[in-house]
Structure 1
Amino acid sequence: MLNWDHVFATRASRMRASEIRELLKLLDRPEIISFAGGIPDPALFPTSAFEAAYADIFANGQAASALQYSVSEGYLPLRQWLQKELDRLGIACGVDNIFITSGSQQALDYLGKLLLSPRDTALVNWPTYLGALQAFNAYEPTYDQLSFGNRTPDSYRAAADNAGGRVKFAYLSSDFSNPTGQTVTQEERLALLTLADELDVPVIEDAAYQHLRYDGEAIRPILSLDIERHGSIEETRTIYCGSFSKTLAPGLRVGYVVAATPVIRKLVLMKQAADLHSSSINQIAITHVAERHFDQQVAKIKAAYSARRDAMLAALAAHMPAGTSWTEPQGGMFIWVTLPEGLDGTELLARSVETEKVAFVPGQAFFADRSGTNTLRLSFSCANEAMIAEGIKRLGRLIAASLRVAA
């Protein structure tokens, strides 16, 4: 029998199962109240709009092109709609600056492949999006903690040199990040651009939750600030990754990258070698729905998710024992909980599923160095207010009991 471990590339050793994907299996157990999966509520999908969109494709003569091979850059009318939407966000660009991917996760994988050589350094937050770590891990980088104003460019260079490579990029989720729900301030965004200029590296801006702001003043995307600083998108170093997964539907796997054309040209070549192009019919359907329903759909999900966020924050305040703290996000899908010292999120999850029938994601999964053992991520997107109140009550009871045992 072939020894597969002997023939796998060295990068295969960096590939790990997603703790979150495994936890999603708990959603099939009706007795579990799950705050684990950071996924949209399917009850809020614009199902009838997509039903009409696919019917239109087959009724108006688009079937041949929808079912055929297409250009790697992406469906032109979709990129034209995105150009207008990006302009509303302060990102002035042309259609040639927009590239369609199979979800923003594919964008992260392509960018890791494009930018990272083994032992190069990626600057990421502590904690950061687990999917980004999984995408980048295949290209065998090292990680360093991205901080705003606390370190000099030379300290990053020295650490990267000691690891055997160079600093290649800074990656961050700018608004209502997964997992913490926190937003990068405008001052921090500007400081990051200054750091990136001094290091001469790109900034990868993950904007998956850009449209899910429930309160507070909107902050301009990093790419918008970069364009203002340098005069044109062609002079910028920011690579903006967006998605329709959190606004319209994740199952269609339609995301996009916005960047200077030298980056887009390389990504197009990578897509030609990987999967040729994203699904034609799904891109056309997304265009139909976005053109007719995008603002209405965003308003609907914002109303639902903001009420659930408020319910979770109220329940945390009512039921969490002293010594427990949490973020208060202005949007997105997540609240980040820091447990009292001595408690372990992974151990707590095992007891929670067994005794209280509540699921969440242990925070350690989101740290490149596997620290953060006393943290956890809660998602409020797929639970109604009554489930949230009951689930947080149970979780608070378990944490309090665990503290008594530890004492």
Structure 2
Amino acid sequence: MYVGEDVMDWTGVLARRMGRMKASEIRELLKLLDQPDILSFAGGIPDATLFPTAAYERAMGEALQNPAALQYSVSEGYGPLRAWVADHMISLGVPCGPENIIITSGSQQALDYLGKLLLTPRDTALVGWPTYLGALGAFNACEPRYAPLDPWRNVAPNEMQAEAEAAGGKVKMAYLSPDFANPTGETLDASGRARLLDQARALDIAVIEDGAYQALRYNGEAIPSLQAMDVAEVGGIEASRVIYCGSFSKVLAPGLRVGWVCAASPVIERLVLLKQAADLHSPTLNQIATDRVARELFDTHVAKLRQVYSARRDAMLDALDRHMPEGVTWTRPEGGMFVWVTLPERMDAAEVLAQSLSSERVAFVPGGAFHADGSGRNTLRLSFSCASEAQIAEGMERLGRLLRVQ
């Protein structure tokens, strides 16, 4: 192999945006799942033993009888699936039609497209502190400035815009997961949602609602989505500033990468242009199969997931109550897959993780990765979706034992 002075130096030709692209701590931690002695509460992924495998096996076979399943297709997505999604959104209080839906390769692709659609370098994106790591990863390529999204933050809209303009751009969008958020598991109440929408109207910005976990409610009263609230206020989907990102990943099967966006038709039309330029269309076979499975068992399967995951959530909260030392606090989610833990300020969760992997063989995600400014070093995320109740009890006992000697 030749190695000389004329070897290509790739750093000299990379785009500036690559300086903000970092490896996902979660994706790296998922590699630990291959180590059988690790008790992992790191990956925010669904339990593979609960996938509707038999239904997908039938659906794939039936889909392959359709010649269109292996052919190029329209960028908007498979028509019957878009119609199912539109009906689903109607059931959530959002009157809309297939023209308001585009199928994406998971909601992660939707976030990537929406960042490109809305953000120019130095524009301001309002995000939670903490917020979903994947959203930061998607938006980082657009080189935005981040500012805290807090409906109770008493900052006048003109002050927020002045700060954004001083940074060289405008406030363009707010991003949040209002139901059982990743990473905190927290839910924004109805008054907070109304206040946030009022702020968005005053700023005249788009709101990206990440609904990945909305179906996974285990207790408490359901709260209308931001999009449903906005549509009711402004009179229809075409006047709404809320862009809803949905996904089949958490409730059916993530490996097929099928998600969607529901929004006003001018937004969908521009997202279609982005998809045409990126990957032409999501895999047609996967869309046809997902349409068949969703029509067959979506509601009954979601009910099954709620029963299993709620028991695991309860097991984790009970184990935390029993084993965590004084000074450690955590959220008590009504749904989703996550519990957010706050350690005493003197502790660094990344350092605790290194010790935990070495001595206790327990994995979790340090919280700093979920903060746009790298703060939150004394926080961590636990996922209960893929562990048995016995594993949860054992894992929390081990983690509590480690934290007591910090």
TM-score tier, shorter chain, comes to: over 0.9
Shift of 1:159: 1.7
Deviations 1:73-131 (A, max 9, x none): 00010011111111111011111000100000000000001111110000000000000
Letter paired with 2:105: S
Match among 312, 324, 331 for residue 320 of structure 1 = 324
CA distance in 2, matches of 1:56, 1:16: 41
Where do residues 246-395 of structure 1 align in structure 2 (5 Å cutoff)?
246-395=250-399
CA distance in 1, matches of 2:162, 2:370: 25
Letter paired with 2:264: A
> Would you say 1:158 and 2:183 are equivalent positions?
no
> Would you say 1:218 and 2:199 are equivalent positions?
no
Where do residues 114-129 of structure 1 align in structure 2 (5 Å cutoff)?
114-129=117-132
Q: Which 5+ residue runs of structure 1 have no aligned equivalent?
A: 403-407
Letter paired with 1:46: P
Runs ≥4 in structure 1, deviation > 3 angstroms? Answer: none
> Would you say 1:94 and 2:100 are equivalent positions?
no
Shift of 1:250: 0.1
Deviations 1:38-96 (A, max 9, x none): 000000000000001011123xx31x100000000000100111111111110111110
Please tell me the root mean square deviation across aligned C-alpha atoms, in Å: 0.6
Deviations 1:262-283 (A, max 9, x none): 1000000110111000000000
Shift of 1:163: 1.2
More displaced, 168-177 or 146-155?
146-155
Provide TM-score, normalisation by structure 1: 0.97
Shift of 1:149: 2.9
Q: Which SS does the other structure have where 2:73 is aligned? A: coil
Match among 181, 188, 207 for residue 184 of structure 1 = 188
Deviations 1:9-62 (A, max 9, x none): 10011100000000000000000000000000000000000001011123xx31
Letter paired with 2:91: R
> Would you say 1:174 and 2:145 are equivalent positions?
no
Q: Which SS does the other structure have where 1:210 is aligned? A: coil
Shift of 1:155: 2.4
Shift of 1:156: 1.3
> Would you say 1:5 and 2:6 are equivalent positions?
no
Deviations 1:166-197 (A, max 9, x none): 00100001100000000111111111111111
CA distance in 2, matches of 1:156, 1:181: 27
Match of 1:30 in 2: 36
Deviations 1:218-260 (A, max 9, x none): 0000000000000010001000000000000000000000000
Match among 133, 136, 159 for residue 136 of structure 2 = 133
Q: Which SS does the other structure have where 2:375 is aligned? A: coil
CA distance in 1, matches of 2:238, 2:216: 28
Match of 1:21 in 2: 27
Identity %: 63
Letter paired with 2:151: F
> Would you say 1:57 and 2:63 are equivalent positions?
yes
Letter paired with 1:37: G
Letter paired with 2:206: P
Match of 2:86 in 1: 83
CA distance in 2, matches of 1:296, 1:31: 34
Letter paired with 2:199: L
Letter paired with 1:72: S
Letter paired with 2:69: A
Q: Which 5+ residue runs of structure 2 have no aligned equivalent?
A: 1-6
Letter paired with 1:15: M
CA distance in 1, matches of 2:152, 2:400: 36
Match among 87, 104, 108 for residue 105 of structure 1 = 108
Provide TM-score, normalisation by structure 2: 0.98
- Equivalent pairs counted in the alignment come to 399
Shift of 1:162: 1.9
CA distance in 1, matches of 2:368, 2:157: 27
Q: Which SS does the other structure have where 1:133 is aligned? A: helix
Match of 1:237 in 2: 241
CA distance in 1, matches of 2:160, 2:398: 43
Letter paired with 1:54: M
Letter paired with 1:14: R
Shift of 1:316: 0.2
Match among 27, 35, 44 for residue 50 of structure 2 = 44
Shift of 1:158: 2.0
CA distance in 2, matches of 1:351, 1:29: 17
CA distance in 2, matches of 1:341, 1:274: 44
